[in-house]
Amino acid sequence: MFDFFMSEEKKIQRHQRTLTDRAQQAEEREASVRWLAGHATPVALLALLSRFDMRLEHQLKDTAEKESLYDELVRIGRPVVEPLRAHLKKSRQVTIPLRLLAELEGVETTVGAVIELLEQELKKDDFKPEKKRQLLVWLAEG
């Protein structure tokens, strides 16, 4: 109702919060996906990509929502690439985003991106092997 008075940035933040809130109904998260995809600015696309880092307790619903989001991002196409590359640098879950990058940019380009991400991860001081494992699995299977 009061969206009219909100800045675009605030609207994007609100929809991102809805999208990544486990307590929200699936319909509310889907409405936020539609709103963000409809705007398709780099910031809105980055907000959409943040859904891949969140897991729902109910795995079937989580997978269905992520696949629906994946299809929407493929439909948007090229404008997704730069926000996707930025998301991959800070993302904890990279399996679906890498599949999306391969779909949009091709496997060869994605292999180069994975190698860059691995180099970046090796420079980090923390011991969080999950992202490295996902990157290596993607290389082995890709």
When divided into structural domains, the chain yields a total of 1
Kindly state whether residue 104 falls inside one of the protein's structural domains: yes
Q: What is the pLDDT of residue 3?
A: 62
Write the secondary structure of 65-122 as one string of H (helix), E (strand) and C (coil).
Answer: HHHHHHHHHHHHCHHHHHHHHHHHHHCCCCHHHHHHHHHHHCHHHHHHHHHHHHHHHH
- Asked if residue 34 lies in contact with residue 48, where contact means CB atoms within 8 angstroms, the answer is no
**Can you give the residue range of the structural domain that contains 57?**
7-141
Q: Does residue 42 lie within any of the structural domains?
A: yes
The pLDDT value recorded for residue 2 is 53
Residue-level pLDDT at 126: 72
Q: In the prediction, which pLDDT does 23 show? A: 94
Backbone angles phi, psi at 18, to 5 degrees: -65, -45
As averages over each run of 10 residues, the pLDDT of the chain (142 residues) reads 73 96 95 96 98 94 96 98 97 95 97 95 80 92 80
Residue 2: inside a domain, yes or no? Answer: no
pLDDT of residue 5: 64
pLDDT the model gives residue 128: 73
Asked whether residue 123 is domain-assigned, the answer is yes
Q: Is residue 1, in this structure, part of any structural domain at all?
A: no
In a domain? residue 134: yes
